[in-house]
Structure 1
Amino acid sequence: MNGLYALKPWYAARLSGVRALLVTHGVHPSAITVAGIVFGAAAGAVLGLGETGPWAAVAVAAALAGRLACANLDGGVARDGGRSTRFGAVVNELGDRLAEYAALAGCLALADPALVAAAALAATLPSWAALAGAAAGARRPQGGPAGKTERCALLVLLALTGWTGWLIVLAAGSLLTAVVRITRVHRELREATS
């Protein structure tokens, strides 16, 4: 159950020219991470206007496409440019969370704050599950029914329709994704000790 994450190799290949250009020009991976946060904030700003419809959906989709591109590029630029560090991985994770929170914060103009808070908290669970698994020695599980890309798509649907129920779908899907990832980790670790 990899969801849209299955498209990552294809997407990374589409970004290979941009990645090479960034490495050639010595762009620091952390700058790309910060750009991802800015794109997340731009999506949040559009949502924060409280207006929904096609124009809002296009603007949110464009900002979140930039956010996802940065999430893909920062690690690739670090590896290709010989700048990978363990702390860089920490910055990458923090950047992903901040970008997502910045986008979700815009939903406060459209939905009850308790619903937005629940969605924001639930959205962190897939990453916590993956990081916990990696810390225990398992491969880091990715994808799932509501991974990062699917959560971005749900925010685009919210911008299009104004239906705040998409936040409930985001929260429930995030919880399910965390369960799927923990199950994968449990299976892998159990097999490793068998």
Structure 2
Amino acid sequence: MNGLYALKPWYADRLSGLRRALAARQVSPDTLTAAGVGCAAGAAAALAWLPAPLAALPVAVLLAARLAFANLDGALARDTGRTTRRGALLNELGDRTGDLLVIAGFLPLAPLWLVAAAAFASTLPSWISLAGAAAGAPRRNGGPVGKTERCLLAVVAAASGWAVPVLAVVAAGSAVTAVLRAVWVWRVLGRPGADVATGKAAATEKAEVTGEVVAAVAMATAEATETAEATATTEIPVAEPPAPAPATTPVTRRRPTPSPTLNSPPPRPDRGLPLDPGEVSGSITHTRPQSPADRGTQLRGTR
């Protein structure tokens, strides 16, 4: 049932050198996806505008390049670690757009209804494969008339001019391929353990997130362990308590009491009274004149 899709590993090996060169130049996988769409548009233009014998070479070259870019974008993303969910969506949209562009090249060569039927039928196998993958089944590719076979039939139409027969084969063969894929997906989902396979994508994401969390916890634990070991092996100096200060007896200072002088009068209890002129004030002695009687008395006392 794989058809020409079985040659994909061989074709990928032939492109390994080109893939390494693109990786060395850091080419984006999205750029390759866009280049594949451009090649499909160029092949459709050559098929529509060039006569039958002359259109074969450019259509063959451009469709071969389209298949090469369709193979390289996903492989380059895996090799360089740039696989993203947006990239996967862009890859699918690019493939479907390329399919429709190639069929659109038959518009000047066949009835409109036949072109529309072939365009609708050519996308059915891919939609069924995507629906099966979303339900948990493996992605199914290939078939009697898959993408590679449709490109080959377009080259045949460009070389022979048999646009109507080729479109009929594309429409019928794509419908048969879609039915065969649908039957295969139905059987896979009906097997025991299909419920487990249904949550494969969610489980994968959860496992990745859990792995990151476990790695972060392990790193934090290791750092904490190293810090604890370093703290345990480090001698921390213990500060000695300060020696108590010697007890001192407070010294009470008393104001010196002035010694009385010979000529100092005794203290007066009442300071409110006026001083006698004969009293002592400070260091100056005030005396009053002595009478002759007083002098006689002192002379008698000294004898």
TM range, smaller chain: over 0.9
Which residue of structure 1 aligns with residue 138 of structure 2?
Answer: 139
Partner amino acid, structure 1, of 2:185: V
Give the distance between the partners of 1:147 and 1:96, measured in 2 at CA.
12
Does the Cα contact within 8 Å between 1:115 and 1:167 map onto a contact in 2?
yes
User: 1:101 corresponds to which residue?
Assistant: 100
The AA in structure 2 aligned to 1:82 is G
The code of the aligned residue for 1:75 comes to G
**Alpha-carbon distance in structure 2 between the residues aligned to 1:38 and 1:6:** 25
Q: Is the 8 A contact 1:130 1:181 kept in 2?
A: yes
Note if 1:184 corresponds to 2:188: no
Matches within 5 A, 1:23-102: 23-49=23-49, 51-53=51-53, 55-102=54-101
Q: Which amino acid aligns with 1:52?
A: A
d(CA) in 1 for partners of 2:192, 2:103: 38
Q: Is the 8 A contact 1:50 1:109 kept in 2?
A: no
Q: In structure 1, what is the Cα distance between the partners aligned to 2:110 and 2:23?
A: 41
Distance 1:192 1:115 in 2: 42
Q: Which amino acid is the alignment partner of residue 22 of structure 1?
A: L
Does structure 2 retain, via aligned residues, the 8 Å contact 1:44–1:102? yes
Alignment RMSD (CA, Å):
1.1
How far 1:92 moved relative to its partner?
0.2
Q: 3-state SS of the aligned residue for 2:105? A: helix
* 1:150 maps to amino acid: E
Q: How many residues align?
A: 193
> How many angstroms does 1:160 deviate by?
1.1
User: CA shift at 1:86, angstroms?
Assistant: 1.0
What amino acid maps onto 1:147 in structure 2? G
Distance across 2 between alignment mates of 1:105 and 1:185: 30
Shift of the alpha carbon at 1:193?
4.1
Q: SS at 1:108's partner residue?
A: coil
Relative contact order (C-alpha < 8 Å, sep 6+): which is higher? 1
The one-letter amino acid of 1:3's match is G
TM-superposed deviation, 1:149: 0.1
- Percent identity (aligned): 56
C-alpha contact 1:41 1:103 (8 A) present in aligned 2:
yes
State the distance in 2 between where 1:32 and 1:111 align: 31
Q: For structure 1, list consecutive stretches of 5 or more residues without a partner in the other structure.
A: none
Secondary structure, in 3 states, of the residue corresponding to 1:121? helix
Name 2:217's counterpart in structure 1: none
**Runs of 4+ residues over 6 Å off in structure 1:** none
Mark the structure with the bigger radius of gyration: 2
Which residue pairs with 2:205 in the alignment? none
Cα deviations across residues 154-175 of structure 1 (Å, max 9, x unaligned)? 1111111111211010011101
Task: Report if the CA contact (8 A) 1:40-1:102 is conserved.
Answer: yes
> Given the two structures, how large is their TM-score scaled by the length of structure 1?
0.96
Distance, in Å, in 2 between the alignment partners of 1:104 and 1:50 is: 15
Query: How big is each residue's C-alpha offset from its partner over 1:6-35, in whole Å with a ceiling of 9 and x where there is no partner?
Result: 000000010011111111111101100000
Q: How does the TM-score come out when normalised to structure 2?
A: 0.62
Kindly state the Cα deviation for residue 90 of structure 1 after the two structures are TM-superposed: 0.5
CA distance in 2, matches of 1:65, 1:130: 23
- Runs of 5+ consecutive residues of structure 2 not aligned to the other structure: 195-303
CA distance in 1, matches of 2:16, 2:26: 15
Establish whether residue 160 from structure 1 lines up as the match of residue 159 from structure 2. yes
Letter in structure 2 aligned against 1:129: I
CA distance in 1, matches of 2:192, 2:160: 46
Deviation (angstroms), 1:192: 3.5
